[in-house]
Amino acid sequence: MPETVQSTERAAGLPYERSAGSTIALTGATGFLASHLLLRLLPHDVRVVALVRKPPQRALSSLACALRSAGAPEETVQRIPHQVRAVQVGLDRPQLGLSEAEFRTISDSVDAVWHCAALTKLHGAAEELHRTNVEGTRHILALATAGGRKPPLFHVSTAFVAGAQLEGVVPERQLDSAHGFLTPYEESKHRAENLVHRWARDNGRSATIFRPSVLLSERSALPRAPQHTYAVLAAKLALFLRHSLRDLPSPAPPPSSDRTSQPASFADQLVVRLVGAPDSGINLLQVEDAALAMLRLAENAPRGPGARVHHIVHPVETPVEQINNALQRSTPRLRLELVTNRPDPTGLERAIDRFGAEATAYLGLRRRYERSSLRDLECRHLLNPPAPIDSSYLDAALSPPPSAH
């Protein structure tokens, strides 16, 4: 395993005693988070029924790429043909588009069901988000119910089901919708969570709901591998700027006696105003810590009936100003300004509002998240607290992959 994985797990102990040699059904296997889960599970002989959108061989190839990008050694990647069976499904279709017999066979062949797949377009079409995130969850719950084995469910939600609650502490429990929502995405995930709570209550089943915040990594993604949210955002900003800066004059070179690496002057920068609060913060967490925390919680999850909620979050919110400064360093000639009012947005600002919602949707948050579940594991020395998200980490996380230089 990569050194970062080894050092973290050596300190906290491996969380796989119960999982070793088991079989899980997994959606979203080729995604950013799930690939980091598999990086840790496959070496412990966990077998996987990967429920995928692509034809099986293409999906397994994508999984190999995602694992390598996550830092998996080659011996872990070589386990894929022996431990992973890909089944092509449609999340938005009854019985996932499978025959009744195959649907029941999968349910009766697994020890747990992990639902990681989701449509994550923050401002996507409400109907499309509902089909994938809500109806998709309903069909995964049906899978967990179809056989007689009654596997526990592990459902990946999001910390942003808190919606438009801008301040205070978000509790680790079922949430109502009293505050409303900032994006259609988080509303769809809230509805999916409610389905899980109702399923566990009505059927006397065990469900664990994970609410991760914004996950990121300082590793540069391989080509065609999944990327974290802010890496995608940095690439979008670079694309927007490449188009917009054609109309700006090139900055004059510094005198020969002062040819050091200097930031562009304000006159040479393209200013983008983002509506937000200067004291706002966003919870960012290293994906490696998130994956380890989820597996540790899964290993210690009670098997009794009911749904239990865990925030997978960093103990400290990252100031938006710090994130914006890192984005500016990653994108030459960009200057981001937080403003409380912007009555006359430019064409570029409107484009970023529409297509770069990662940068604009959560700039007014002053809230924090209860993390009693993780704090308990940390106090029992079953989990190490995550390292700080500092400027050097953000610079590495936003650095474009080598091919993009």
pLDDT digits (tens, 9 = 90+) for 8-44: 444 344 555 566 789 999 999 999 999 999 999 999 9
pLDDT of residue 15: 54
pLDDT of residue 294: 98
pLDDT of residue 166: 96
- Work out the mean pLDDT of the chain and round it to a whole number: 89
Is residue 262 scored above 80 in pLDDT?
A: no
Q: What SS3 state is found at 18? A: coil
Q: Tell which residue, 184, 169, 176, 96, has the closest CA to residue 135.
A: 96
pLDDT digits (tens, 9 = 90+) for 351-380: 888 888 877 889 999 999 999 999 999 999
Of residues 358 and 154, which shows the higher confidence score? Answer: 154
Burial class (CB within 10 angstroms; exposed 0-12, middle 13-18, buried 19+) of 82: exposed
Token representation of residue 274: 């983002």
What domains lie within the chain, and their CATH numbers? 23-218+283-315+372-380 (3.40.50.720)
C-alpha torsion angle, residues 189, 190, 193, 199 (rounded to 10): -120
**Rounded average pLDDT over 197-218:** 97
Task: Kindly report which listed range (190-194, 295-299, 318-322, 401-405) carries the lowest average pLDDT score.
Answer: 401-405
Is residue 332 scored above 80 in pLDDT?
A: no
**Rounded average pLDDT over 381-404:** 89
pLDDT of residue 253: 52
Token representation of residue 265: 């002057």
Cβ-based neighbours of 55, under 8 Å, separated by 6 or more: 88
**Rounded average pLDDT over 223-243:** 88
* Residue 9, amino acid: E
**Rounded average pLDDT over 117-130:** 95
**Rounded average pLDDT over 277-285:** 96
Confidence of residue 83 (pLDDT cuts 50, 70, 90): very high
